[in-house]
Amino acid sequence: FLLELLQECGKLEIHRAVDTSGFAPTATLMSIAEQTDLFLFDIKHMDSEKHRFHTGVPNELILHNLKVLSTAGHSINARIPLISDVNDDENNIRKTAIFLSACPTVKTVDILPYHPSARTKYKKLDIDYQGEKMKVPENEKITSVVSLFSEFGLEVRIGG
C-alpha cells in the first residue's frame, strides 16, 4: 500500500516523506526509498540490548538500514526521541553523534524531548499509559545534547 501511495504522489509531484523506525527488511526499505524524497528516521538507542529493553526489538537492522539508505544517497533527517534516564546519557549521545556523522546524507538531527501529552489520549481510550514513569529532560540536558551533536557537524533542531 505504501509503495503504491508513494508512486501516485510522485506522479502528482507531491513531496514524499516517510517517517520510520527503520525496522523492516532492507530490500523493502530500499524499494520504498526509490519513491521517497525524505526519510524521517528514528534513532532511539545505540546499545542493542537497551534498545530491545525499551522497544522490544534489537537495533542492528535499524542501524544497518540507516547506513544503507545514507550510503545509497537518500536524504535523511535523523530523529531522536530524548528520554531522561533512557537514552540521554553522554555515552549514548556521543555514540549516536559519531554514527550519524558517518552517514553521508544525514545532515539534520531533530531532538524530540519526551513530554507526557499522550497521557490524556490514553486515558480517554481507557488504555494504560506506559510513559507515566518517564521523565521530561531538563533544559540543561537538552542544551548539552544539542551542543554534542553540533560538535560533529550536524545541524540540530529541537522538536520537529
Cβ–Cβ under 8 Å, residues 76 and 41:
yes
Which pLDDT score is estimated for 130? 76
Q: For strands 76-82 and 17-20, give the pairing.
A: unpaired
| pLDDT exceeds cutoff 90 at 71 | yes
**Single-letter amino acid code for the residue at 114:** Y
| pLDDT exceeds cutoff 90 at 74 | yes
Nearest to 84 by CA among 49, 57, 54: 54
- Cα–chain-centroid distance for residue 40? 7
Sheet harboring 38-42: ordered strands across? 17-20, 38-42, 76-82, 106-113, 155-158
Which pLDDT score is estimated for 160? 62
Output DSSP code: residue 92: H
Residue 15: how many other CB atoms lie within 10 Å: 9
Residue 142, CA distances (Å) to 77, 80, 97, 123, 134 in order = 18, 11, 14, 28, 16
pLDDT per position as a tens digit, 102-151: 999 998 999 999 988 888 888 889 888 877 778 889 999 999 999 999 99
* Distance from C-alpha of 52 to C-alpha of 61, rounded to nearest angstrom: 12
Which pLDDT score is estimated for 128? 83
The alpha helices in 43-157, defined as continuous H runs, are 48-55, 60-71, 90-101, 118-124, 139-151
Cβ–Cβ under 8 Å, residues 95 and 64:
no
- What share of the chain has pLDDT > 90, as a percent? 84
pLDDT per position as a tens digit, 6-31: 999 999 999 999 999 999 999 999 99
